[in-house]
Amino acid sequence: MLVAGVDVGNSTTEIAVARTEPGREPEWLYVARRPTTGTKGSEACAGGVAELFAAAERRLGERAHLALLAELHPVETGLVELGRLEELMLEQTAIARPASETPSGTGVGAGTLVAVDELDGPARAEPVVPVIAAQIDYEAAAGRLRDARAGGWNVSAAIVEADDAVLIGNRFDRSLPIVDEVADVASLPLGARAAVEVAEAGASVEELSDPLRLGVLLGFGPEEARAARTAARGLAGHRAALAVRVPRSAGRDATVAAAAELSIVLVGSDGAEEALDEHAAPPPPGAVAAIRGSAGDRNGLLDVYWHTLPVPADDPGFARRLIRRRAVALALLARGESSGLVEAIGRLCPGGARVVARESDAAVLGASTTPGSGRAPFVLDLGGGTVDLHRAEGAVSTAGAGDLVTRICAGLLGSDSALAERAKRRRSARVETPFVLHHEDGSRSFLGEPAPPEALAQLCLVDGRGLVPLLAPLAPEVWRGLRRAAKHDVLARNVRRAVEAVGGVPAGELVTLVGGSASDGEVVDVVAAELADLDLAVARGNVLGRHGPRAAVAVGLVLAFAAMGDR
Amino acid sequence: MSADLVVALLADGAPASALAAGFEEEGVPLSVRREPGEAGALARDAAAQAVLGLGIGGDETRLVLVLAAAPGRPYLEAPVTRGRSFAKAAARVAARRPLRLPYE
């Protein structure tokens, strides 16, 4: 009989198709995977399963007669970033942004925002920050600034829409802080208080990244201290920046009040409430039953895990920026609704679908097909949404796995998730010159052909087909450290939590790593290092000796069915 | 600075002032000389003269950046109407700063 083991994970759905005959080993014919098409356990997942069945049928010329499933315990996972919430709050209070790759001058200047046309009128006593639109030629802009200063205006800084800061500074005042490439100068509130800072080349702003100093420069009162703090966070680590106080509006007070309540409350399984402290260690699985607050209200939680972004020790500017962003990645694991997935999958096969084993039993059976393993009593499934520790007594699941690592990488790189997913698995290099690559270990290599211009001076993925720019201002060594730290902070830490939740694993025991994240050698390294004190044999699964750490549960389901003797 | 770090050889009609402005904004020195010829050939000659091996050639239709180490084809190329942004990109190649492409 042609049967298909089906494993629907949070991120990936896998099938293993085999022909089974009583008294004989299964004949393995097809193993494949694709992204899961719905919340794990939901009927929407059947769409992805159907595509895998169709692909198997095209390959084998025959549809699987029976679908084999594990007992379903649907879970949902989600991610929240506190830093992003703060940025949204900030927009109502102040405009704060890094600016200019090529600013002019150094130091800080603050004053009232004025259109450059206003400088044609009588001089005012207070310092001003002219705003220069792109249609004003740099020669003309410099001339008007010169005339204004001669006429008694106190020009303390300038904000330029076009990439003209150096050109204007060279023709007006080389020492004056001028930032450029401010695309939305038309939306800046003229008459408002603004501050501009330019640091020396290679340095970062110091005054605008200091919340107290920024508050003084923009004239914030004590009740707006949070806005100053959040604005300062957003500017730290940049060479040039501007901050503008947004005029008071009707909705502002409410927004400031809402920002003050920016927090997440954890509700324990005993009903006790406690504010989430992003710098504290997450509690064990099962300790938090619900969350309230900025991340939305969620009940029925099985686990909550969070971690701040890793900080590079050898890049202080970038580290400061990250710390001040208050970016926290949060993963939730909740009971999901089981809504007809077994029936939906059953409709895909003539013989229907049958639940043949617990997921843990299937994982152990599948992992045990790894050559040399004998029997794999402890299986760590490092998936997309969860880390699951499978053993004879059942499974323990912890929230946060490969997807959370991807989110952290995306936060570090400022990229979308698709690029971050690739970046977390591939080595990188910086294109130093059109012909020289600087690798993660500090070595250099030469290119036979010049690197494409878009890759020049960029940190790039080296993926075998070419160089893919990551657009993050990081040295390859720094990025490698951050990438590994993200894997440690999520996967290795969650492995530790899972092991502790089951009361430990006996010394000398074999722990087999399976799941998509286990196909990443760096993950295997960080997990093995994390468990080093337990004296365990940590090995990567190689299911059926040819599929690596993939498809352990799907293969295990077929093995479980075969062992049942087709009952 | 007296050394010709980056050299531009420009025929009549090439936008010398836009080229100079782009390099000035990026803080990269540029030596500009007038010479008749076609953009690609001028760029190859310029690259051979430049200490950094970066040469720009320009005529009335286009601007070209050539690397002395790979003179067979342009590394960057733009119509003369994009002189300023081409110059910024070329200056960034010299300064080893990330480029902004495509030209705006």
Q: Which residues contact B102 (CB under 8 A, 6 or more apart)?
A: none
Lowest-confidence pick of A125-134, A320-329, A465-474? A320-329
Residue B104 domain-assigned (yes or no): no
A432 contacts B75? CB cut-off 8 A: no
- Predicted pLDDT at A340: 83
**Least CB–CB distance from B101: residue in A167, A449, A453:** A453
User: Which is higher by pLDDT, A315 or B85?
Assistant: B85
Q: Which residues contact B72 (CB under 8 A, 6 or more apart)?
A: none
Lowest-confidence pick of A181-195, A205-219, A241-255, A279-293? A241-255
A274 Cβ under 8 Å from any chain B Cβ: no
Class of the domain covering A1-74+336-370+545-567:
alpha beta
A434 contacts B69? CB cut-off 8 A: yes
Residue A283 CA: distances (Å) to CA of A208, A303, A313: 37, 8, 27
Q: What is the mean pLDDT of residues A184-213?
A: 91
**pLDDT value at A105 more than 90:** yes
Q: Which residues partner with A398 through β-bridges?
A: A387
A453 contacts B76? CB cut-off 8 A: yes
Strand order in the sheet with B54-58: B31-34, B6-10, B54-58, B62-67, B76-79
Residue A150, amino acid: A
User: What pTM value is reported for the model?
Assistant: 0.84
Q: A164 to chain B nearest CA, in Å?
A: 6
Q: What is the mean pLDDT of residues A492-500?
A: 95
Nearest residue of B to residue A432, measured between CA atoms = B96
Alpha-carbon Rg for chain B in angstroms = 12
Q: Report which secondary-structure segment, H or E, holds A345.
A: helix A341-346
Residue A76 CA: distances (Å) to CA of A9, A79, A417, A469: 10, 10, 19, 33
B67 Cβ under 8 Å from any chain A Cβ: yes
- Predicted pLDDT at A262: 58
Q: What is the mean pLDDT of chain A?
A: 88
Residue B101 domain-assigned (yes or no): no
Domain with residue B16: its CATH number is 3.40.50.10150
- Predicted pLDDT at A250: 44
- Predicted pLDDT at A88: 53
Structure tokens at A12: 């990936």
Residue B39 domain-assigned (yes or no): yes
**pLDDT value at B62 more than 90:** yes
Q: What is the mean pLDDT of residues A413-420?
A: 90
Residue B103 domain-assigned (yes or no): no
B101 contacts A454? CB cut-off 8 A: yes
A505 falls in which pLDDT band (50, 70, 90)?
very high
pLDDT tens, residue by residue, A534-549: 999 999 999 999 999 9
Domains of chain A, by residue range, sit at 1-74+336-370+545-567, 93-248, 264-335, 415-471
B89 Cβ under 8 Å from any chain A Cβ: yes
Contact A376, A510 (CB under 8 A): yes
**pLDDT value at A116 more than 80:** yes
pLDDT tens, residue by residue, B31-46: 999 999 999 999 999 9
**pLDDT value at A89 more than 60:** no
Residue B81 domain-assigned (yes or no): yes
Lowest-confidence pick of A91-100, A237-246, A290-299, A491-500? A91-100
Which range scores top for mean pLDDT: A167-181, A340-354, A360-374, A394-408? A167-181
Alpha-carbon Rg for chain A in angstroms = 29
B51: domain range? 6-95
Residue with tokens 């003084």: A216
Residue A376, amino acid: A
Interstrand relation of A288-293 and A301-308 (parallel, antiparallel or unpaired):
unpaired
Q: Which residues of A touch B27 (CB under 8 A)?
A: 102, 166
pLDDT tens, residue by residue, A287-314: 999 988 877 788 888 899 988 888 887 7
Residue with tokens 């400061």: A320
B18 Cβ under 8 Å from any chain A Cβ: no
B102 Cβ under 8 Å from any chain A Cβ: no
A411 falls in which pLDDT band (50, 70, 90)?
confident
**pLDDT value at A407 more than 90:** no
Measured from the Cβ of residue A406, the count of other Cβ atoms closer than 10 Å reads 27
- Predicted pLDDT at A260: 45
Q: CA A39, A274, A283 angle in degrees (round to 5)? A: 60
Nearest residue of B to residue A435, measured between CA atoms = B69
Identify the three-state secondary structure at position A173.
coil
Separation CA A304–CA A266 (nearest Å): 9
Q: What is the DSSP letter of B85?
A: H
Q: Which residues of A touch B26 (CB under 8 A)?
A: 102, 166
A458 contacts B98? CB cut-off 8 A: yes
pLDDT tens, residue by residue, A119-149: 999 999 999 999 999 999 999 999 999 999 9
**Least CB–CB distance from A450: residue in B25, B67, B101:** B67
- Predicted pLDDT at A254: 47
Domain count across chain B: 1
Identify the three-state secondary structure at position A469.
strand
- Predicted pLDDT at B103: 57
A452 Cβ under 8 Å from any chain B Cβ: no
pLDDT tens, residue by residue, A21-47: 888 899 999 999 999 998 777 888 999
Q: What is the mean pLDDT of residues A112-119?
A: 95
Domain A93-248: give its CATH superfamily.
Swiveling domain of dehydratase reactivase alpha subunit (3.50.30.70)
A74 falls in which pLDDT band (50, 70, 90)?
low
Domain A415-471: give its CATH superfamily.
Nucleic acid-binding proteins (2.40.50.140)
